[in-house]
Amino acid sequence: MTTSSEDVLLQVPQVRYKKGDGTLFLMDQRLIWMVENRDTVAVSHSYADIKSQKISPEGKVKVQLQVVLHNGVSSTFHFTNRNGLQAQLADRDKVKEMLQTLLPKFKRKVDRELEEKNKLLSSNPALLQLYKDLVMTEVVTSEEFWVQHASQYTQKQKQQPQDIGVSGAFLADIKPQTDGCNGLKYNITPDIIECIFKTYPAVKKKYVENVPTKLSESQFWTKFFQSHYFHRDRKYAESKDLFTECGKIDDQEMKRDIQTGVDDPLVNITEFEDKTLDEGYGVANEKTNVTSGTVSQAMIKRFNQHSIMVLKATKKQENSEAEAKNVPKQNGNVSEEKPDDGHVAKKQRIQSKITYEDLDSPSASSSGGPSLSLSKVERYLHGPMPDSNVEQLNPNEASSVLRGVLQETRQWQSRHPSTSLVTPAAAVGALGELSPGGALMRGFQEQSLAQLVPADIENEVRNLYLALCELLSHFWKCFPPSTPTMEQKAVKMHEALHRYHTAKLKPFEDKLIRELSPLSHHLTKHLNQLLNAAYQKFSNWQKIKNR
Amino acid sequence: MVDEEEQKEYRWETGYEKTWEAIKEDDDGFLEASVADIIQRAKRKRQAQKQGNSKLGMMRHLYVILDCSDSMSSQDLKPTRLLCTVKIMENFIEEFFDQNPISQMGIIIMHNKRAEKISDLAGNARKHIKAINNLKQTSLIGEPSLQNSLEMALRALKLLPSHASREILVVMGSLTTCDPGDINTTILNLKSEGVRCSVIGLAAEVHVCRRLANETGGLYNVILDDCHFKDLLYQQVDPPPAALTLESNLIKMGFPHQMSVEGTEEPLTMCMCHVDSTDEGSKLNTGGYYCPQCYSKYCELPVECRACGLTLVSAPHLARSYHHLFPAANYDEITYENQTVICFACQKNFSETDKQVYRCPNCTKIFCINCDIFVHDILHTCPGCATNLSTFQIAHNTTQ
């Protein structure tokens, strides 16, 4: 609170606040205003609390600055420098600029996280419900909630946006549209912009230099498309354009590439020819003179350049990653290994061009992987059978049993006619048992009970289940505990479950007993069972641990 | 008289062009027979190669990657490639979960140079079918990115335990792929993680797909028409041979039962599978399966318990996977020489049109061709062997 431990960055006397004269001080962590001639601080706002500042418009007589906090409170300071309007304006502008530099430093972190959390909660009703049940009733602390229970939601946000490749035709796909009066309209999306930056790093540099300070974004792109850099003619030497440098840089790169050439021993670029018929068909080998400067040559050059740059755009990342990995391992052995690799690779490539695996004889490798070794196959085919209950009949007994059965079946011929079946009483009894509510149809009674439950109670029960499920999943994940942290977590979750029991479940049960007495026991029986199973597991584990 | 007129004129002079003469027909006048023939022959070849006694990856975790780029709006498969694919995929998903009840599937689409996961790994067929049906409304733009989608699938598959078999199936309609980096590194990663990638091409063979399938040990085929597409897709329903990185572990599973205590009424409970779904929340009812470890209730099996993480299955689910390990023996094809009058399975009389009949090597009963296909594709048990106790057991002993 005292000003001695903080640095005063700016002190502005003659500032009125709420009809009192005083001095405004800007410290390094906060902003304070003290009443004239007194030592106590009347108003203190730390920069982290300040959301924004406002200044009164230019023409006004009263020169004011308003500071708006996150929680909506605002404080207005009136600059009343006796030297006149100009001095007041100067004072206010000084304060304003200082605040402008200071506020961003404090603003960012706290603000953004809270906003993200609020957004998550409002967009996921399930998460909101969990939050209400667990955090507001203090079953789980707020930090634990965000770390454990909401982790899958927060991670979704942090997922890196995917990298996309550069397709060869991305510039051609822009497809300019004519807008009637001799102009062209180009639609570019962020994807296309990213592709342009990846392929033409020189353009990216220009963008970073010029936008937003010198040119606006749309102006930059307009210039880009207008420049000869983009268009075919490419006679850029004359015109002074933002992009002439880019053209020169590209040319230099091309020259360098041509000099390094292609590494591959099987490819010989200088011998590439443009013939349709192969050797031996009677066409002599003609070397055309290279005529430079024609439009077609320029176009071919541009196509080649574009293709080279597109390919390079994808290779750049790979190389930087590969280098980062290789550097710690290899020291001086790189150059020795290379020629050997070159030889082996060449042989492999030639080999792959002359063999076709379709034409090879079908190999025995189609035996399809590792084989299964089973010790007693019958065990898989029958259920578990008790061994010793099989009675062994000797043949005499068997034949006597057979004779008995045959005699019985002969007697079936002289059965009662099929009109008299079961006694009526027995029939009615069976019907009764099979209708809903009878001895054999146990479930229906409770189904009708379920319809008696009002919808809001059902919703509450559902929310209870949801919260309990979340807690239980974290609880059961800790078993079997392999590390000390897991053991601690198990203990913590156990306590959380107890807290949940007392904070949410018991009040709900009490409420039910008061309102709907017949159902109260039924609805929460299962929830209690779930909790008891968890408690049981925990106590078993404790017992084993303490042994 | 008509013939003389035709002979005098040149083809370009005639008013009518006899285009129908250019198409070849088979004996019965059907054009599709040639493609169906190919399918049939491939099926028989596969059937012959199937033998029992090999280790299979039965707990399968399959990611299906569908191409949703520009090329899928082409109309060579009616009505468009995408709609045809969606239709066939629905049937495939049901068949997959039918034959592999303890497996899980996830779906990713390739769209506008990015990959998007539309369905997470789960064992519930209905959810996936709903997600696939929603695909009919997506706009097909841009190029597919094979690398992005393979990376996305790999990230999820890496986290699985080692006893699970990891697979990816790509349905690729485009001939190009636009990737942010080198796809060869992705292929190497997949190989080292033991992920088996198969590709079904809808247009033509692409070298990258061929490499991907060969390196990871999967299958690559290009379709001829929609029947062939269906057949190739159904080839993926059978469990593949186990990868070398597959470890054999004991897996803990729960076998839930209905909870009923004698004398008291069953309590009203809510299920955990629908507790957080917005459109159909759980209802209070009495039936359901209770997890033996934590007592949470679920509406249907197989499922992974949300509270304690235990895999809950019922015994028939496991038994359904048996026929992959102990398949019915392949029947020998022999010429019909009046060995029997009727087919043992369907009791139909053999006539002169049946030139080939099929005999089971174990029980030596004779079957007709339809019963052969039925037994091996759908029934998975030979009726002759099953009705004869002694041969049933012998069959499985001799396969060892």
Residue-level pLDDT, tens digit, chain B, 400 residues: 444 444 555 555 545 545 554 445 556 665 556 677 777 777 777 777 766 667 777 888 999 999 998 899 999 888 899 999 999 999 999 999 888 888 899 999 998 888 889 998 888 888 899 999 999 888 888 888 999 999 999 998 988 887 888 999 999 999 988 888 888 999 999 999 889 999 999 999 999 999 999 999 899 999 988 889 999 999 898 888 877 667 777 788 888 876 655 445 566 777 777 776 666 666 777 777 888 888 888 888 888 888 888 888 888 888 777 778 777 888 888 888 888 888 888 888 888 777 788 888 888 889 988 888 888 888 888 888 888 766 555 445 444 3
Laid out side by side, the sheet with B303-304 consists of: B253-254, B311-312, B303-304
pLDDT of amino acid A335: 39
- For residue A7, is pLDDT > 60? yes
| CA–CA distance, B374 with B370 (Å, rounded to integer) | 6
Q: What's the pLDDT band for A500 if we cut at 50, 70, 90? A: confident
User: Which residues of A are less than 8 Å from B293 in CB distance?
Assistant: 476, 533
pLDDT of amino acid A326: 44
C-beta of residue B100 within 8 angstroms of C-beta of residue B239: yes
Q: Is B398 on the interface with A (CB under 8 A)?
A: no
**Chain B interface disruption, residue of A155, A197, A377, most B CBs within 10 A:** A377
> Rounded mean pLDDT of A154-162?
64
Question: What separation, in Å, do the N-terminal and C-terminal C-alpha atoms of chain A show?
Answer: 56
The answer to whether the CB atoms of A477 and B325 lie below 8 A apart is no
- B192 CB-contact burial (10 Å; exposed 0-12 / middle 13-18 / buried 19+): exposed
The answer to whether the CB atoms of B181 and A381 lie below 8 A apart is no
Q: Which residues contact A216 (CB under 8 A, 6 or more apart)?
A: none
- For residue A441, is pLDDT > 70? no
The answer to whether the CB atoms of A447 and B286 lie below 8 A apart is yes
**Chain A interface disruption, residue of B269, B312, B380, B385, most A CBs within 10 A:** B269
> Rounded mean pLDDT of A135-158?
69
Chain B residues 79-108 within an 8 A CB cutoff of chain A = none
pLDDT of amino acid A77: 84
pLDDT of amino acid B285: 72
> Rounded mean pLDDT of A15-35?
82
> Rounded mean pLDDT of A305-317?
76
pLDDT of amino acid B153: 93
Nearest chain A residue to B149 by CA distance is A162
Nearest to A469 among B113, B242, B272 (CB): B272
The answer to whether the CB atoms of A167 and B178 lie below 8 A apart is yes
φ/ψ of B242, rounded to 5, equals -65, 140
pLDDT of amino acid A330: 39
C-beta of residue B303 within 8 angstroms of C-beta of residue B309: no
Q: Which of B296, B331, B332 is nearest to B312 (CA)?
A: B296
| CA–CA distance, B285 with B304 (Å, rounded to integer) | 21
User: Which residues of B are less than 8 Å from A519 in CB distance?
Assistant: 268
Nearest chain A residue to B142 by CA distance is A167
Q: What is the DSSP string of A214-255?
A: TS-HHHHHHHHHHSTTTSS---TTTS--TTHHHHHHHHHHHH
Q: Is B17 on the interface with A (CB under 8 A)?
A: no
**Chain B interface disruption, residue of A131, A366, A529, most B CBs within 10 A:** A529
| CA–CA distance, B285 with A406 (Å, rounded to integer) | 51
Nearest chain B residue to A167 by CA distance is B178
Percentage, residues of chain A above pLDDT 90: 1
Phi-psi region of A75 (alpha: psi -120 to 50; beta: other; left: phi over 0): beta
User: Which residues of A are less than 8 Å from B112 in CB distance?
Assistant: 191
User: Which residues of B are less than 8 Å from A458 in CB distance?
Assistant: 283-284
Laid out side by side, the sheet with B332-335 consists of: B332-335, B356-359, B366-367
The answer to whether the CB atoms of A443 and B266 lie below 8 A apart is yes
- For residue A444, is pLDDT > 70? no
The answer to whether the CB atoms of B266 and A442 lie below 8 A apart is yes
User: Which residues of B are less than 8 Å from A472 in CB distance?
Assistant: 294, 296, 307-308
User: Which residues of A are less than 8 Å from B265 in CB distance?
Assistant: 442, 445-446
Nearest to B268 among A369, A450, A529 (CB): A450
The answer to whether the CB atoms of B242 and A525 lie below 8 A apart is no
Range of lowest pLDDT (A157-171, A368-382, B194-208, B334-348): A368-382
The answer to whether the CB atoms of A472 and B308 lie below 8 A apart is yes
Q: Which of B247, B245, B267 is nearest to B258 (CA)?
A: B267
Nearest chain A residue to B176 by CA distance is A167
User: Which residues of B are less than 8 Å from A461 in CB distance?
Assistant: 270, 284
pLDDT of amino acid B210: 93
Q: What is the CA radius of gyration of chain A?
A: 42
Whether the upstream peptide bond of residue A161 has omega within 30° of 0, thus cis, is no
The answer to whether the CB atoms of A446 and B268 lie below 8 A apart is yes
Q: Which of B288, B293, B289 is nearest to B310 (CA)?
A: B293
Nearest to A526 among B52, B178, B267 (CB): B267
C-beta of residue B352 within 8 angstroms of C-beta of residue B366: no
pLDDT of amino acid B83: 92
Nearest to B306 among A167, A461, A473 (CB): A473
Range of lowest pLDDT (A129-143, A187-201, A364-378): A364-378
pLDDT of amino acid B109: 92
Long-range interactions of B214-219: CB distance < 8 A, separation 24+: B215/B187, B215/B188, B215/B190, B215/B191, B216/B187, B216/B190, B216/B191, B217/B243, B218/B167, B218/B168
| CA–CA distance, B332 with B359 (Å, rounded to integer) | 5
Cβ neighbours, 10 Å, residue B244? 10
The answer to whether the CB atoms of A126 and B185 lie below 8 A apart is no
Highest averaged pLDDT of the listed ranges A86-90, A163-167, A375-379: A86-90
C-beta of residue B128 within 8 angstroms of C-beta of residue B155: no
| CA–CA distance, A122 with A119 (Å, rounded to integer) | 5
C-beta of residue B265 within 8 angstroms of C-beta of residue A442: yes
User: Which residues of B are less than 8 Å from A523 in CB distance?
Assistant: 268, 284
pLDDT of amino acid B12: 57
**Per-state percent for chain B, helix, strand, coil, to nearest 5:** 35, 20, 45
Q: Is B297 on the interface with A (CB under 8 A)?
A: yes
Q: What's the pLDDT band for A238 if we cut at 50, 70, 90? A: very low
The answer to whether the CB atoms of A377 and B293 lie below 8 A apart is no
**Chain A interface disruption, residue of B121, B284, B322, B326, most A CBs within 10 A:** B284
φ/ψ of B170, rounded to 5, equals -110, 130
User: Which residues of B are less than 8 Å from A384 in CB distance?
Assistant: none
Q: Is B211 on the interface with A (CB under 8 A)?
A: no
pLDDT of amino acid B279: 60
Q: What pLDDT, in 10s, does the model give residues A77-132?
A: 888 888 888 888 888 888 888 888 777 777 655 666 777 778 777 777 777 777 77
